[in-house]
Structure 1
Amino acid sequence: MSHCIGLLSIAAKFSLLVFLLSAVFLCSSLSDRNPEFALTKTEESDLKEENGKESVTEDDADAEDLEVFYPTNWWQTVHPVPGPFHQAGRKCLDGDKLLFKSIFILGQAIPAGLHVRLNLQTGEKEAKLPDSTNEKSDMKDQKKRKRLDKVDIDSNSFTSQELKEALAKLKENEKTKSTMEANLEDVRKRFRPIEELKAEFERLNMRIETDYEIMVKLINKFNSSDSMLDEKIAALYDLEYYVHQVDNAKDFLSLGGLQLMINALNSTEAVMKEHAAFVLGAALSSNPKVQIEAIEGGALQKLLVILATEQPLAVKKKALFALSSMLRHFPYAQQQFLKLGGLQVLRNLFKEKGMEALYVRVVTLLYDLIMEKMLLEGAQNNEDQMEEKVQQYSQVKLVPAVVEQGWCAIVSNLLALPEHDTREKVLKTVSVLMAFCKDRYRGDQHLNITLSMLRSEYEELAAEEQREGDKDGYFKELLGSINTIIQELR
């Protein structure tokens, strides 16, 4: 078989050589003919006839030149021409150049891209379309090239500065992205997931107790005979926190806790009386309903007993706190306080040793009670004021009792104390009592000397304040109060 293929190849080469020699000889013989038989370049306009129809050229008339192979997915034979070769020659003169065109076909015209093989059994040439996998691969490559063409950037359309700015923005975006990721990670570390929080809140809600329920437990703990003293004190300490609220104090009253505190004032344990008075004072503060129940329950008498008898300073301090909470804004309690000799009880505190811490508290209480009545009387024509309350205050003879029991001198003597805060409160009380104690103050030589010394001291302090830039300072205000009292005593 290979021997036959070799012979065919030698025959084809020989035929080609004969064809070329014949063509050269033909051209040489044609060149000797007259010029009208020579092949010349034909213009498009020369190919048309007079009636407008186009003439047929030699190439168009040759059917074998136009025979085309139509491929399929199966192998097909590529048909050869009838003879060893087909030739046509044409000699054209284009200017000084000799154009020679020779066309020969050894078989059908095969489109590019086909698969071609030589069938060794039949000796025929065969061709077919490429495989579908290759077509798909070619289509993928073509799509890929199109995508690349779309994103292709013409570097000549951007300046170097624009490219630098684009690169800087890219780096900045990367930096921002990394920063955001770091922040997100930090948030994840610092905060728990919402699902975990919801679960924990659900667990907490199951264990939440109302203030009412807590007070019930604390009262039961305090009233239980099985509780130790320290446990009862701890219960009282917690109760004081809750009864500060008005609604809790009313619940405390309905639970019987107020009467328990009043009874605890009779305890033989000083610490028990101290914390019971503390809880009582917190519940009475600005709560009229509890104030009424407390005075009807005998709290006023028991508080005065504690203040009048020998008790530790801590116990008397809490009892005075409870007494002040009961008397403020409660004219009926103030009237009962005067009837029970409350002013005399407070006056005796100034005679006891070690009670200096209570002096300012007592003076402050008197000042508040006097000012409370004065303010109400000054606004008695106001439609918003209750007529009944005005009548109740009119029955409270507090100032006459203060003057009669010698409180004018007791208050003025406190100006000798060194604390500026104490002096301030005493000066306010002296100013309030000035209308009732003026004659006594004018004849008090010790008071006049004290006022002169205080004026000199506060003049220096006020001047120092002014040098520091504080024109309306604390010491200037105290100096003004002293000057007012001195002016009224002249």
Structure 2
Amino acid sequence: MSHRAGRSPTAAKVSLLVLLVSAVCSRTSLSERVPEFALTKIEESDIKDDSGKEPIADDDADPEDLEVFYPTHQWQTLRPGQAVPAGSHVRLNLQTGDREARLPDSENGKSDTREEKRRRRLDKMDIDSNSFTSQELKKALAKMKESEKAERMAHEEEVRKKFRPIQQLKEEFEKLNVKMETDYEIMDKLISKFNSSASTLDEKVAALYDLEYYVHQVDNAKDFLSMGGLQLVIEGLNSTEPVLKEHAAFVLGAALSSNPKVQVEAIEGGALQKLLVILATEQPQAVKKKALFALCSMLRHFPYAQQQFLKLGGLQVLRGLFRQKGTEALHVRVVTLLYDLIVEKVPSPCHQDPQAPRAFSRATTSWPPLCSHRRSPSEMLLEDSQHGDQTEEKIQQYRQVKLVPALVEQDWCVVVSKLLALPEHDAREKVLQLLGVLMAFCRERYRGDRALSAALGLLRSEYEELAAEEQRDGDKDGYFKELLGSVNTIIQELG
């Protein structure tokens, strides 16, 4: 049986008497039990000491004269006059007659009492825990608070070293708060830099390089036109610096791509003539490459520009590229442009030029690439109803573009057929496409061309092997099978 310390002396006497009577009655049974067995009581005894005087109660004693007892989880003997902390378990060992005390059992068996934690803190501060006065305890607590304050300040200092104050962060963010510029504002600055006489050559080239990135977007290209940038770039085609010509043509081509409004303004501003001059004169290949890119962007889907191109002798200029040395990389680009312009005029059998020869119609129906843009009658009707007179006007403009007759007249049939000797499969594919659409007009010329027949025979043998290898690999409709079909179609047309 366990009781709490702190009860009255009278209750303690009664409890002690009951314990003594119980001990006498059960002496025999106690001798058979574990020797350490002892009854417990939770009170400081008021039994008289050897002098016959009743001890002084803890409540009546001077706190500074009491020797503090520090209990643990093990039973310890109490010396006379020791003060037992409240809540401790106290018992009387009937075998030794000594009073013993210990800490109460915690609920989980692991948590420490506040008194135990306090004692450990005092031990860390090198305080003699066997006997100290209340003043010493106050000093120890003050020292403990100072130690905790020092630890907290040290932690705060460590945090300050790792992180910056919020005010400093705000100031830095204000410095980084750069004004966001729109594409219009950026292009305006780039145009000013390109047009400034104070800008160096490298700065002007850098401005053109950045402008090319922005004018790819249709709306930006229109803004570029309204700011006067297009005319500046066209004038840049006359520059004596080849690098400026190259980048000016590059910007021009980017702005012209699929942008009818810019196309109209460019041809009215004389861009077509300047591009043809660059292609016809002695220029670095990089300059001619960009000029050809700009020319292609201007001519595609713009029949008026195609008419002007033919009137200005554009086909002769392109034909001259095949006679110049070092322009082999441009040959395939020219072939691609001519093929696109022909297909663009006669996109499918359901929307052909009524003036086109029947042989040309048969060629377009038998040539797969030309039928890739085929539209149904309902789609054509919807498109015509949406565009109305504009569509009809464009059709009339296309009818005035006499591109194929001009190609035949300038002997492009032979020029194109000789390109089958190119080693790249992609280049051969484009040449075969153009041969297919020219077959209706160049058939008689091709039938007497032994070099062409030999080249087609070699290509058929090569692509038969490559197509068979594709089929063995599981690709039934591979790239080389398509090329083989194109070669066989041309051979059949010649037969």
**TM range, normalised to the smaller chain?**
0.5 to 0.7
* Alignment match of 1:137 (pick from 58, 62, 87): 87
Q: Is the 8 A contact 2:237 2:248 kept in 1?
A: yes
Q: Give the whole-Å Cα distance in 1 for the aligned partners of 2:437 and 2:176.
A: 55
Q: Name 2:205's counterpart in structure 1.
A: 233
Q: Name 1:147's counterpart in structure 2.
A: 107
Gaps of at least 5 residues in structure 1 are: 1-70, 79-109, 152-191
Mapping 1:217-256, distance limit 5 Å:
217-256=189-228
> Which protein shows a greater Rg?
1
Relative contact order, higher structure (CA 8 A, sep 6+): 2
Residue identity opposite 1:335 in structure 2: Q
Task: Summarize deviations over 1:123-158 as a string: whole Å, max 9, x none.
Answer: 7x647765497462327999942514799xxxxxxx
Q: Give the whole-Å Cα distance in 1 for the aligned partners of 2:225 and 2:187.
A: 11
Residue identity opposite 2:235 in structure 1: N
Q: Give the whole-Å Cα distance in 1 for the aligned partners of 2:172 and 2:381.
A: 55
Find out whether 1:299 has 2:271 as its counterpart: yes
Q: Name 1:478's counterpart in structure 2.
A: 483
Q: Helix, strand or coil: the match of 2:107?
A: helix
Q: 1:375 to 1:75 in 2, by over 3 A?
A: closer
Offset at residue 356 of structure 1 (A) = 1.7
Mapping 1:200-349, distance limit 5 Å:
203-349=175-321
Q: Give the whole-Å Cα distance in 2 for the aligned partners of 1:242 and 1:363.
A: 29
Offset at residue 327 of structure 1 (A) = 0.9
Q: Name 2:449's counterpart in structure 1.
A: 444
Count of residues paired in the alignment: 345
Q: Give the whole-Å Cα distance in 2 for the aligned partners of 1:413 and 1:201.
A: 66
Q: Helix, strand or coil: the match of 2:48?
A: strand
Q: Which range moved further: 434-443 or 359-368?
A: 434-443
Q: Which range moved further: 251-260 or 469-478?
A: 469-478
Q: Name 1:68's counterpart in structure 2.
A: none
Q: Give the whole-Å Cα distance in 2 for the aligned partners of 1:329 and 1:307.
A: 21
Q: 1:111 to 1:362 in 2, by over 3 A?
A: closer
Q: Give the whole-Å Cα distance in 2 for the aligned partners of 1:199 and 1:466.
A: 68
Gaps of at least 5 residues in structure 2 are: 1-6, 15-40, 61-82, 91-100, 112-162, 353-374
Find out whether 1:489 has 2:489 as its counterpart: no
Find out whether 1:422 has 2:421 as its counterpart: no
CA RMSD of aligned residues (A): 3.6
Q: What's the % identity of the aligned pairs?
A: 69
Q: Give the whole-Å Cα distance in 1 for the aligned partners of 2:42 and 2:214.
A: 102
Mapping 1:48-197, distance limit 5 Å:
72=8, 113-117=44-48, 126=54, 131=59, 134=84, 136-138=86-88, 144-145=104-105, 147-148=107-108
Q: Is the 8 A contact 1:300 1:323 kept in 2?
A: yes
Q: Give the whole-Å Cα distance in 1 for the aligned partners of 2:13 and 2:281.
A: 137
Q: Name 1:404's counterpart in structure 2.
A: 409
Offset at residue 427 of structure 1 (A) = 0.3
Q: Name 2:381's counterpart in structure 1.
A: 382
Q: Which range moved further: 443-452 or 197-206?
A: 197-206
Offset at residue 280 of structure 1 (A) = 0.7
Offset at residue 382 of structure 1 (A) = 3.3
Residue identity opposite 1:287 in structure 2: N
Offset at residue 198 of structure 1 (A) = 9.3
Q: Is the 8 A contact 1:212 1:248 kept in 2?
A: yes
Q: Give the whole-Å Cα distance in 1 for the aligned partners of 2:462 and 2:204.
A: 50
Q: Helix, strand or coil: the match of 2:86?
A: helix
Residue identity opposite 1:235 in structure 2: A
Q: What TM-score do you get using the length of structure 2 for normalisation?
A: 0.61
Q: Is the 8 A contact 1:76 1:127 kept in 2?
A: no
Q: Give the whole-Å Cα distance in 2 for the aligned partners of 1:280 and 1:271.
A: 14
Residue identity opposite 2:461 in structure 1: S
Offset at residue 426 of structure 1 (A) = 0.1
Residue identity opposite 1:116 in structure 2: I
Offset at residue 201 of structure 1 (A) = 6.9
